[in-house]
Amino acid sequence: MGSHPINLLLRFVLELAALAAAGYWGWTEKSGGWRWAWAIGLPLVMAVLWGTFRVDGDPKDAPVPVPGIVRLLLEAAFFATAVVLLAAAGQSQLAIIFGVVILVHYAVSYDRIAWLLEQK
């Protein structure tokens, strides 16, 4: 089920929403020039980490291959950071909804999680 097109679309939307949450936090919680730096820089750093450290074959070869458990931990940190930043920016209800949707996505993606855990 993890590779179903609807689930892949949801995953992509969740990734974009996580980056948007990081940018929103930077914009609302900082001021002056730091506002721009955080609103652009934090999502950029998150996106680079997300795209760089991957498991080969998920969905293609990785720039920096890592074991599946490391990738899962990176994903957990990525999405948890977005949820925490939403809450810190005063969007508690949105953070809860976002967190629940992430958990549902990973529950539906049980086959991908099992595959990742097999990757060394």
What tens digit of pLDDT does each residue of 23-60 get? Answer: 999 999 989 989 999 999 999 999 999 999 999 988 78
Provide the pLDDT for residue 73: 96
pTM for the full predicted model: 0.92
Provide the pLDDT for residue 111: 93
Integer distance in angstroms from the first to the last C-alpha of the chain?
22
Cα–Cα nearest to 88, from 36, 45, 47, 30: 30
